[in-house]
Structure formats: structure tokens, C-alpha cells
Amino acid sequence: MRKALFIASFFTFMLFVAKQASAQHYFYDGEYYDNPFLYEAGISINAMNCLTDIGGGKGIGKKFLKDLNIGKTNGSAGIFFGVAYKNAVSLRLEATFGQISGNDNVLQGVTDIAKQRYNRNLNFRSLITDINLLAEIHPMNIFIDWLAKDRTPPRYSPYLLAGIGYFSFNPQTKLVGSDRWIDLQPLHTEGQGWVAGREEYKLNQLNIPLGAGIKYELSPLVNLRGEFVYRHTFTDYLDDLSTNYIDPILFTQNLTPQKAVLATQLYDRQIDKSIAGIDGKRGTASNTDAFFSFNLKISVVIGRERIRR
């Protein structure tokens, strides 16, 4: 209900500011005038990936691209609607739908410390629904007054973006020899909610999106965009993995018999179980997880008016 109210308020605000500016025009090109406020509505196709405890590169786990598994990139898609002021700053509401995944088997054959992650033998996937409210800044249109210079602005415009997001995820894994995907959060695989200091994580959370891109005006009414958006999250459980192994007796004590059996099967799948026993290292809690996407967008511009001859 709150989400629907927020979206309705956002669109009401944009309609109001557009109406206030509707009587103002300035020259765009030989065919169109601009309103100071322009709408933009479009779709995107994306490549989505993540940085979590599962998988990664050789050696000790690293931050950002040094620990990225390109082969685990998944497709995603999105829709967006925004309003821009004089093509200099804009506000847009965007929904993205995709999937992230990871697997320790990408480390097969390593001989350094990363072999411990390969031995851990875990995998996951998670469907992502991400709703962002983003502010864009276009420096070329902020710091250069094209009208004062009596020059036509270029068709391209690099920009920076930042905002706030609300996303849902649901880590799942497969039973060995089965095509069945199992939801992991209800199994409390690390004793979340039972072990002191380990709270049960929520499947709907906030994130902070940050990114950069470039907009290209294919025509006065159609824009193309290429951009990168990184989402900083406040959870280490995108992959249901963060800290240490627990005593499996906790599953029997706190779950239904059916869930206890599943949790016992799934929480510890080490190839060599002598490497990490109870309280042994399972993940690294010092860094939260993140996901990101490379986006290609096409949109329609609403608000430019054709010059009447």
C-alpha cells in the first residue's frame, strides 16, 4: 500500500510541475520547441551480475570486479518513466526484473586458498525485483549554457546518477541430483534468528543505486542510453551465506521435521567435510553483498512540440 501511494504521489508531482511549465518554450532545433520539463518513458534490456560470498576469483576474496564471475551474468529487463528539467537534471522511477546467481564450482582446479571455497560446494540463484527512484545530473547541460553561446547542444550527454531503491530477492539452491529449487531463507541455514547476533534476514530491503551513463538523442522524440548501475545493499544474504557453520541439532530443535531434513542436507555440502566443522568458516560477514547491471535503454520523449509552419 505504501509503495502504491508513493508511486501515485510521484506521478502527481510530475504532472504538476509539467503543467506549471507548459506555457514556457525555448528553441530546440529547426523542427521542434522544448518545454523546460520533458517526460521520458522507455524500456531497457540489461546484463545483471552480483558480488557475494559464493564463487569469486583465485586467492582471498576481493572487492568489486576483481572477484567477478562473468560467466554468471544473467539477462534482465526494465521499464522507466522520468521527468527532466532543461535536459540538465532529471528524476526517474524505474523497475528492473532479473536474476542473480553464483556457484563455487567456478573455482574447480584452483590450488591456492580459494580451494576452500571450491570445497564448500554451494550454489544459489535469486530472482530480483528492483524499484529505484533515481536523480540524474548531466554536467554538459549544467555547466554550459548552449543558448547563451548560440550553439546547438550535442546529441550525446554523459550523466551521473544516484538514488534509493527497494528490492526483493529470494535465494534458492538445488538438491543434488534434482531439478527442484529450494527456498533457503525459511531453512535458517546459519541459525538466523536462533544464534545470538544472527538476525533473520528480510527478503525485501533497501539499496543505494549509483551509476553513470550516456544519453544519445537518436531523434527529437527518441533517446538511446547506455549505463552502468551498481546497487549497494545492506545485507550479506543475497546468496544465503555470511558467517559460520552451525550445529545441525539446531535444525531439529527449531524447524519442522521436513524443513530440518532439508536444512541438514543443504547447509553443509563440503566435498571434504574435515576442512570446516561446526563453527568453521562458511562465509565472510565483513562485506555486504551487491548486485549491478549494464543497461541499454530506448525511450520516447514527451513534451517537445513541432513548430507550426
Residues in CB range of 47: below 8 A, 6 or more apart: 73, 74, 75, 76, 293, 294
Residue 88 has pLDDT above 50, yes or no: yes
Residues 215-223: what's their mean pLDDT? 93
Minimum mean pLDDT range among 55-69, 153-167, 214-228:
55-69
Higher per-residue pLDDT: 197 or 136: 136
Which segments of the chain does DSSP mark as H helices, in order?
Answer: 2-21, 115-120, 139-142, 249-254, 257-267
Of 2.40.160.20, 2.130.10.10, 3.40.50.1100, 3.40.190.10, the CATH number of 2-306 is 2.40.160.20
∠ CA 273-277-281, rounded to 5°? 105
143's enclosing H/E stretch is: none
Each residue's pLDDT tens digit, 267-301: 999 988 777 778 888 888 888 999 999 999 999 99
Minimum mean pLDDT range among 123-137, 174-188, 190-204:
174-188
pLDDT at 66: 61
Residue 95 has pLDDT above 70, yes or no: yes
| Share of residues in the chain with pLDDT > 90 (%) | 58
Cα 265 vs. chain centroid, distance in angstroms?
Answer: 30
Task: Return the C-alpha torsion angle 211, 216, 220, 222, nearest 10.
Answer: -70
At residue 282, the 3 state secondary structure works out as coil
Residues 146-155: what's their mean pLDDT? 70
| pLDDT band (50, 70, 90) for residue 173 | very high
Residue 206 has pLDDT above 80, yes or no: yes
| pLDDT band (50, 70, 90) for residue 201 | very high
pLDDT at 63: 61
CA torsion sign for 137, 139, 140, 143 is positive
299 touches 40 (CB < 8 A): yes
Higher per-residue pLDDT: 146 or 6: 146
Each residue's pLDDT tens digit, 4-26: 455 445 545 444 444 444 444 55
Higher per-residue pLDDT: 144 or 78: 78
**Cell numbers at 264, concatenated:** 541438514
The DSSP secondary structure of 157-207, one letter per residue, reads EEEEEEEEEEEE---EEEPTT---EEESGGG-TT-TTTSTT-PPPPSEEEE
Residue 45 has pLDDT above 90, yes or no: yes
**Cα–Cα distance for residue pair 186/255, rounded to 1 Å:** 9
What average pLDDT is seen over the chain? Answer: 86
- Domain positions in the chain are 2-306
38's enclosing H/E stretch is: strand 37-51
